[in-house]
Amino acid sequence: MSTAIVTGQPVPGSSLENDLRSLGFDVLVAVDAAEAETALAAAAATERVALVDARFVGHPHALRLGLTDPRFPLAAVPGAVTAQPEARQALTRAVARETSAGGGSGTALAVAGLTDRIVTALDADGGEVHRPELGSLVAVVPADPQALGEARQAVAAVDDEAVRLKSAVKSRDGFFTTFFISPYSRYLARWCARRGLTPNQVTTASLLTALIAAGCAATGTRAGFVAAGVLLIASFVLDCTDGQLARYALKYSTLGAWLDATFDRAKEYAYYAGLALGAARGGGHDDVWALALGAMILQTCRHVVDFSFNEANHDATANTSPTAALSDRLDGVGWTVWVRRMIVLPIGERWAMIAVLTAATTPRITFYVLLAGCAVAATYTTAGRVLRSLTRRARRTDRAARALADLADSGPLSEAVRRVARRGLPGLAGPAVAFLGGAAVVASSALTGPGSALPVIGALIYVLTSALAVARPLGGALDWLVPPFFRAAEYGTVLALAGTAGVNGALPAAFGLVAAVAYHHYDTVYRIRGNAGAPPAWLTRVIGGHEGRTLLVAVLAAVLTASQFTVALTVLAVAVALVVLAESIRFWVSSHLGGAPAVHDEGEPA
């Protein structure tokens, strides 16, 4: 249990101690700074500690936001400050200085404002003290009886629970989520919180629901398709609920952020596979595996564009452009905000569209519409970001260049060529060469038949061009396009070679391989976002890097028969999946158990 040390004489009629206990704190009273220091030293080193002014008046949710958020080692609201175990030393030093300065006196003058002086001392020491936005919530330390009465009236005038429930909803979300899901999913989140359910349990329930939906789609019957559409929407409701539950109860965790992100991709791509199986088993025996794989590739490349652009501009300076200024002006016109959010086809709109089309049409039509919508969204977002990059004069940091290099996923072959080449390409030549090399290998794979050596030549060219593209730090205006070009080249090559193999099972095997590799690339993104760096170098070497896998698949297609190639793709998919999943699970579970800082990404809708 956490410990809250209430400093000063208790105030008659105050509910402070009860509020703190309701938040999970064991409450101690310290009448002066010396007693506060003693109580702080006695508290277990592995638990959270808070110092709260006895005169504090405010909403319980203001205390919750200031004292229980697991994402921040140090946090404060007026009259209260808290430290997690990793920040206890800083808090102890600040309290010791205040005790020394006040001589340990128990006078009202010495105790009054103790917590706020400690926060000031923490700031002076360079401590990063989080101060949550309270909005209409009250958190004050009244100086006299009149101020006390006014503060209590202000508390009574605001519904604490209504504010808490409203703040559980993500501040920026898609149109469908905002108007068709969140109005009731927030109440489901509160229901889960009151029954002790955790966000991770709700996330798992969402995954299971989506997998059942995929199973229903795989039946190939109209009833199965209708059930699949309904269950997919139900899965999305739970997907919204887990984040809202995390915000409502402030139950953030490293493991939870990873599960939420990876399960979203697993749900969507498993559903694509279910639709493809259902199309093959239905009355028309339609083969849409190429469309399913194309949808997964397009969606994954869209995400990589988002990730790369955001990492490239994470901490860039002089980060302005006319395009960004226009976007800011459009934000002032309400309807344009929603149009621009919908055109990028975020997860809410995308899943709603897929669910309705599944229930009402065929898998082929569903994939056609999905591919068209994602193509429009990808064109819109990529074009806007290219314009921003070309019209701004941003100076990118070494951190951004390192993140883009990690996202590139270059393997041993690229490293060897880069050591020989030594010097990189200037200006826009890097992304241009990455694009041309990727286009060469995909085109050579798509335009030749089974057993051709041309894709191998294209892959060798790709190895060379990809090494040249990353031979220098990726700090150029459009260098964030390099990782998406690499993803499109690798995934597109696998699709093209499997599609030209002309045998049953080749495209499903290719779907499995791309899914396994895409998981590795998403895992890299989530590690970078969590400030954990890229996956270990040995993992990249073992699975070959993007250029090594592309060359391997091209060689296998050239030297094996079509049926043997299908078996080889299947084996490769299983091998890559086992290696990357084992390392990913090991890393995230150990990070969670090791007390890694909790994270909660409120970024763009996926």
pLDDT in tens, 434-467: 999 999 999 999 999 889 999 999 999 999 999 9
Boundary (domain end) residue, out of 348, 380, 412: 380
Residue 605 lies in a domain: no
Instruction: Give the span between the Cα atoms of 358 and 133, in whole angstroms.
Output: 42
List, for residues 326-368, the tens digit of each pLDDT value: 566 666 666 788 888 899 999 999 999 999 999 999 999 999 9
Instruction: Give the span between the Cα atoms of 603 and 243, in whole angstroms.
Output: 12
Residue 279 lies in a domain: yes
Q: What is the mean pLDDT of residues 463-475?
A: 92
Shared domain for 326 and 201, answered yes or no, is yes
Boundary (domain end) residue, out of 380, 410, 434: 380
DSSP-assigned letter for residue 596: P
CATH number at residue 242: 1.20.120.1760
Query: What is the β-pairing status of strands 139-140 and 80-83?
Result: unpaired
Shared domain for 427 and 502, answered yes or no, is yes
Between 66-80, 81-95, 110-124, the lowest mean confidence (pLDDT) is in: 110-124
Residue 389 lies in a domain: no
CATH number at residue 157: 3.90.550
- pLDDT score of 571: 98
Residue 126 lies in a domain: yes
Three-state secondary-structure class, residue 349: helix
Domain tally for the chain? 3
Shared domain for 175 and 298, answered yes or no, is yes
Instruction: Give the span between the Cα atoms of 435 and 61, in whole angstroms.
Output: 51
Residue/partner pairs of 122-125 with CB below 8 Å, 24 or more apart: 122/74, 122/76, 122/81, 122/90, 122/91, 122/94, 125/90, 125/93, 125/94
Three-state secondary-structure class, residue 27: strand
Residue 385 lies in a domain: no
Structural domain of 463: 395-600
Query: What is the β-pairing status of strands 129-130 and 57-58?
Result: unpaired
Boundary (domain end) residue, out of 145, 163, 181: 163
Tell me the pLDDT of the chain averaged across its residues. Answer: 91
Percent of the chain with pLDDT over 90: 76
Residue 606 lies in a domain: no
DSSP code string of 235-295: HHHHHHHHHHHHHHHT---HHHHHHHHHHHHHHHHHHHHHHHHHHHHSTT----HHHHHHH
- pLDDT score of 98: 82
Q: Which residues contact 195 (CB under 8 A, 6 or more apart)?
A: none
- Least Cα distance to 222 among 363, 108, 323 occurs for 363
In single-letter form, the type of residue at position 313 comes to N
> Rounded to the nearest 10 degrees, what angle do helices 254-281 and 506-529 cross at?
160
Shared domain for 103 and 79, answered yes or no, is yes
**Is 108 in contact with 23 (CB distance < 8 Å)?**
no
Instruction: Give the span between the Cα atoms of 149 and 157, in whole angstroms.
Output: 12
Residue 387 lies in a domain: no
Shared domain for 373 and 420, answered yes or no, is no
Res. 203 pLDDT band, cuts 50 70 90? very high
Shared domain for 344 and 326, answered yes or no, is yes
**What distances in angstroms separate CA 557 from CA 297, 464, 562, 574, 588, one per listed residue?**
20, 20, 7, 18, 35
Stated pTM of the model: 0.93
Shared domain for 468 and 507, answered yes or no, is yes
pLDDT of 315 strictly over 80: no
Shared domain for 189 and 154, answered yes or no, is no
Instruction: Give the span between the Cα atoms of 414 and 282, in whole angstroms.
Output: 45
For the chain, the straight-line distance linking the first and the last C-alpha, in angstroms and rounded, comes to 36
Residues paired with residue 29 on neighbouring β-strands, in sequence order: 6
Query: φ and ψ at 502, to 5 degrees?
Result: 75, 25
Shared domain for 147 and 194, answered yes or no, is no
Instruction: Give the span between the Cα atoms of 462 and 485, in whole angstroms.
Output: 11
Q: What is the mean pLDDT of residues 419-444?
A: 88
Shared domain for 305 and 349, answered yes or no, is yes
- pLDDT score of 595: 72
Instruction: Give the span between the Cα atoms of 536 and 539, in whole angstroms.
Output: 6
Shared domain for 79 and 55, answered yes or no, is yes
Number of residues that make up the chain: 606
Instruction: Give the span between the Cα atoms of 529 and 517, in whole angstroms.
Output: 19
Shared domain for 200 and 122, answered yes or no, is no
Between 117-131, 169-183, 307-321, the lowest mean confidence (pLDDT) is in: 307-321
**Maximum CA extent, the chain:** 89
Residue 386 lies in a domain: no
